[in-house]
Amino acid sequence: MARDVREYKTDVHNNWCPGCVLPGTLIHTNPDLKPIEALKVGDKVLGLDGRYHRVTEVFHHRHRGWMYRVRAKGLGEVVLTPEHPVLIARREHPKRHNERFDLVWVRADRLRKGDYLAYPIPTDVRDVERLPLPEKLPMDRRSAPLPDAVPVTGDFLRLAGYYLAEGWIDTRSGAKGGLDAFVGFAFHHEERDLVEDVRRIVKGLFGLDVAVQERPRAHQVAALIHSSRLARAFRGWFGSGAQAKRLPPFMLLLPLEKQRELLKGLWRGDGWLDPRRARAHYKTISRVLAEQVKLLLLRQGIAPAVYTSRASGRHKASYTVFVTGRRDVGRLRAVLGLPPLDFPAGKPPSTLFAEEIVPAGADGASPPHEPERGQGARRRHRFLMVPIADVRRFEYDGEVWNLEVEGVECYVSECATLHNCGDFGILNAVQMTLARMDLEPHKVLLFSGIGCSGKTPHYVKVYGVHTLHGRVLPFATGAKLANPELTIIAVGGDGDGLGIGAGHFVNAGRRNVDLTYIIHDNGVYGLTKGQASPTLRLGVKTKGLPQPNINEGVNPLMLAFAAGFTFIARGYAFDIPHLVQLIRQAIEHKGLAFVDVLQPCPTYNDLNTREWYNARVYKLEDEGYDPVIEPGMDEAEIQEKIVRFLQKAAEWGERIPIGVLLKNETVSTYEERIAQRLPVYPQAAPATRPICDEDGKPLADLSALLDELRVV
């Protein structure tokens, strides 16, 4: 049985992350809109695919330097560190809209006024037929009987809209524990048709009568439902108090036809439509409700804008969801069941809807409820393309925050789609592998060298050693020989392992010790500002280099084969499910396993980016590639396997293979060779030998050594 991955996560978090946002940045969760610092592991946030995905890590650190304030037309703003990637389409012409939108991740400091921010439209649809009502309180002898559940029909959703716009909960007798509570609706005295609609719905759904109360001084008419049980239900579903009102999670995922009835109730209560011009708006003092109304409109194909009126005196901050333009107001009128009007022509809309083709793998694993697809598959996601109104920078010294999100590797603020940290895909894959293999944490030992990967042992809740630059394999080898019962994993960067550590890399391959070595391969020395690492190819110039790379690049797969590694694989940091499979196979392999992980470095390598890899990587297993050399194969079969390996290991350019390239099961391990010379090994390996007797007296006699070292 697999363990929970949280068992392998420490309380230590990274104190450096290349792209982050200010505290207070509002992030779309379901059903809320929360400041980023209030999010926790396990919360779900909206991703670029329009679905909600689990937060796996929350990071923060102190940032000193420039911040970029990016303001979108009608959708608010977001403030980011210079390196933080944002999903956009470049503006092709300064005075007219694009005809097509090619989405790319672009750093905040490279955004330009007029570029389009890609804002995803929620796509999940989950119908709910019935909603249970809370049980009657033991002391409640006054409430009329109610059904156990209410059907989620158009009538119920329209009533919910009326409550969110005009309703309240009144508890007249706090001393009685709220047993005299009722649900109230306050309408303008000319809206008696809405009062009648409330009365009809409540009678049909709950069998209750509605009391009508005239309020001539306030020009109002109130509809009152005297039921403490129903009051408790409405408070739990929709909140109480105008600032705290919100939709429950399931209502944001209902089918579009049901959500139209919800919008009818909302707009009839607090909405407005201009009878002469193509303008409409909905106003509320609940920030969460305003954002939820925005999402409801987007799902209906209506492009809204949200504007904030600041608090002043006794007036609280308010939020207005605007709909303008003939197209969008016409759609809104259709949703509300109103006849179309022939509005005069106006300015073209500032925001547009776009269908964007996203390459398979660009947003991680397939979203929930969507099957995995093969190479070349495409998924259509729909976005609202929002022009950038302004980009400004300012100096900042304080905390910044970021997230790691499962599957899509991104999250959505009130106006933009933001990439998550991204540097921790390999870390997550290691943790997930340990959990799925059900390995006991105290029987796993994790080593690291120097570089961006060096702190990996700090984040994994197993025994860990942070070693010297280039020396990770000698440390890992010694630990495995001293205690063969341990699962040994070594991690390092391409510079750490194939630069200063190249000699140890080759000699470890000659030995074939039973351990796993994972290299973070990004072509640069990320920790020391982007110098060319051994894997960067000749003539390539990244933004961290003043001139093109003057050295030939090392092919890690070829070098591993020449050295004698018996398991050779290549993974991709942004395909975590596939990487987990590779690491598991590497650990299970009996011998020295090498996993070269292609890892985009958004900070210093602007060539081998995530988008560049997404367009090129393909899985060997999808093409029927067989990497296994088994005992009993004849020489011709083995040579054929080796030739195929060499071909795939050399393939780089328009297509880049990932997967297991070679698995040689015919070579003995170093431990087996030692056991042939020392029959007591591994039973008498150094870690298993007693170091003292029952009284605690050391068993080792060092007297001869001390005599030799004694100074006379």
- The pLDDT tens digits of the residues spanning 362-373 come to 333 333 323 233
Number of other CB atoms surrounding residue 349 within 10 Å:
15
Domain that holds residue 436: 425-672
**For residue 6, what pLDDT is reported?**
67
User: Is a pLDDT exceeding 50 seen at residue 196?
Assistant: yes
User: Is a pLDDT exceeding 80 seen at residue 23?
Assistant: yes
Q: Considering the chain, what percentage of its residues have pLDDT values greater than 90?
A: 55
Residue 88 and residue 141 in one domain: no
In a domain, 696, yes or no: no
Residue at which a domain ends, from 285, 308, 335: 335
Residue 180 and residue 218 in one domain: yes
User: Is a pLDDT exceeding 80 seen at residue 303?
Assistant: yes
Residue with tokens 């308010």: 318
Q: Which helix (H) or strand (E) holds 289?
A: helix 287-299
Tell me the average pLDDT across 284-298. 92
Tell me the average pLDDT across 612-619. 91
Residue 111 and residue 230 in one domain: no
Tell me the average pLDDT across 514-536. 86
**For residue 377, what pLDDT is reported?**
30
Residue at which a domain ends, from 282, 309, 335: 335
In a domain, 40, yes or no: yes
Residue at which a domain ends, from 302, 335, 368: 335
Cα 472 from Cα 507, distance rounded (Å): 13
**For residue 673, what pLDDT is reported?**
95
- The pLDDT tens digits of the residues spanning 435-492 come to 889 999 999 999 998 887 888 898 899 999 999 998 999 999 999 999 999 999 999 9
Residue 136 and residue 108 in one domain: no
User: Is a pLDDT exceeding 60 seen at residue 663?
Assistant: yes
Q: Which of 1-5, 392-396, 600-604 has the highest mean pLDDT?
A: 392-396
Any bridge partners for residue 46, and if so which?
A: 52
**Rg, C-alpha atoms of the chain:** 32
Tell me the average pLDDT across 605-623. 87
In a domain, 222, yes or no: yes
Cα 13 from Cα 433, distance rounded (Å): 20
In a domain, 639, yes or no: yes
Residue 242 and residue 278 in one domain: yes
Question: 290 pLDDT band (50/70/90 cuts)?
Answer: very high
Residue 480 and residue 407 in one domain: no
- The pLDDT tens digits of the residues spanning 69-126 come to 999 998 899 999 887 889 998 998 888 888 888 888 888 988 999 999 999 998 889 9
Q: Are 479 and 471 in contact (CB under 8 A)?
A: no
**For residue 31, what pLDDT is reported?**
64
Tell me the average pLDDT across 188-195. 92
User: Is a pLDDT exceeding 50 seen at residue 215?
Assistant: yes
Q: Which of 252, 685, 658 is nearest to 478 (CA)?
A: 685
User: Is a pLDDT exceeding 90 seen at residue 595?
Assistant: yes
Side chain identity, residue 172? R
Burial class for 131, CB neighbours closer than 10 Å (0-12, 13-18, 19+): middle
**For residue 179, what pLDDT is reported?**
55
Average pLDDT, the chain: 87
Q: What is the DSSP letter of 499?
A: I
Distance in Å from the first CA to the final CA of the chain: 63
**For residue 17, what pLDDT is reported?**
54
In a domain, 183, yes or no: yes
**For residue 172, what pLDDT is reported?**
59
**For residue 380, what pLDDT is reported?**
55
Burial class for 29, CB neighbours closer than 10 Å (0-12, 13-18, 19+): buried
Residue with tokens 């707009």: 267
Any bridge partners for residue 384, and if so which?
A: 119, 353
String of DSSP letters for 20-61: -B-TT-EEEBSS-EEEGGG--TT-EEE-TTSSEEEEEEEEEE
User: Is a pLDDT exceeding 80 seen at residue 675?
Assistant: yes
User: Is a pLDDT exceeding 70 seen at residue 512?
Assistant: yes
For the ranges 189-198, 275-284, 599-608, 679-688, the lowest mean pLDDT is seen at: 599-608
Q: Which helix (H) or strand (E) holds 581?
A: helix 576-588
Residue 397 and residue 510 in one domain: no
Count of CA atoms in the C-beta half-sphere (13 A) of 252: 28
Q: Are 45 and 55 in contact (CB under 8 A)?
A: yes
Q: How far is CA 133 from the centre of its chain?
A: 34
Strand segments, DSSP code E, in 267-317 are 271-273, 279-284, 305-309
String of DSSP letters for 356-425: EEEETTTTSSPPTTS----TT-EEEEEEEEEEEEEEEEEEEEEEEEEEEETTT-EEEBSS-EEE---TTH
**For residue 353, what pLDDT is reported?**
80
Residue 410 and residue 432 in one domain: no
User: Do the bridges between strand 531-532 and strand 567-572 make them parallel or antiparallel, or are there none, so unpaired?
Assistant: unpaired
Residue 385 and residue 454 in one domain: no
Domain count, the chain: 3
User: Is a pLDDT exceeding 90 seen at residue 267?
Assistant: yes
In a domain, 695, yes or no: no
Residue with tokens 């259509």: 380
Question: 248 pLDDT band (50/70/90 cuts)?
Answer: very high
**For residue 482, what pLDDT is reported?**
94
Residue 386 and residue 296 in one domain: no
Residue 445 and residue 374 in one domain: no
Tell me the average pLDDT across 538-543. 84
Burial class for 592, CB neighbours closer than 10 Å (0-12, 13-18, 19+): buried
User: Is a pLDDT exceeding 90 seen at residue 296?
Assistant: yes
Strand segments, DSSP code E, in 461-562 are 463-466, 487-493, 516-521, 524-525, 531-532
Tally of helices (H runs) and strands (E runs) in the chain: 17, 33
Number of other CB atoms surrounding residue 61 within 10 Å:
14
Tell me the average pLDDT across 388-402. 93
Question: 12 pLDDT band (50/70/90 cuts)?
Answer: low
Which CATH number do you get for residue 570? 3.40.50.970
- The pLDDT tens digits of the residues spanning 230-245 come to 999 999 999 988 899 9
Which CATH number do you get for residue 372? 2.170.16.10
**For residue 691, what pLDDT is reported?**
85
255 vs 177: which has the higher pLDDT = 255
User: Is a pLDDT exceeding 80 seen at residue 374?
Assistant: no
In a domain, 207, yes or no: yes
4 φ, ψ (degrees, to nearest 5): -75, 130
Q: Are 574 and 364 in contact (CB under 8 A)?
A: yes
**For residue 18, what pLDDT is reported?**
57
Cα 115 from Cα 511, distance rounded (Å): 55
Tell me the average pLDDT across 508-526. 92
Tell me the average pLDDT across 693-708. 86
Q: Which of 41-45, 348-352, 609-613 has the highest mean pLDDT?
A: 41-45
Which CATH number do you get for residue 197? 3.10.28.10
Q: Considering the chain, what percentage of its residues have pLDDT values greater than 70?
A: 92
Q: Are 189 and 213 in contact (CB under 8 A)?
A: no
User: Is a pLDDT exceeding 70 seen at residue 316?
Assistant: yes
List alpha helices for 98-190, DSSP H.
154-166
In a domain, 687, yes or no: no
**For residue 128, what pLDDT is reported?**
94
Q: Which of 212-216, 543-547, 663-667 has the highest mean pLDDT?
A: 663-667
517 vs 548: which has the higher pLDDT = 517
| Cα-based angle 580, 37, 74 (whole degrees, multiple of 5) | 100
Residue 507 and residue 595 in one domain: yes
Cα 623 from Cα 601, distance rounded (Å): 28
User: Is a pLDDT exceeding 70 seen at residue 176?
Assistant: no
194 φ, ψ (degrees, to nearest 5): -75, -35
Q: Which of 132, 150, 130, 140 is nearest to 207 (CA)?
A: 150
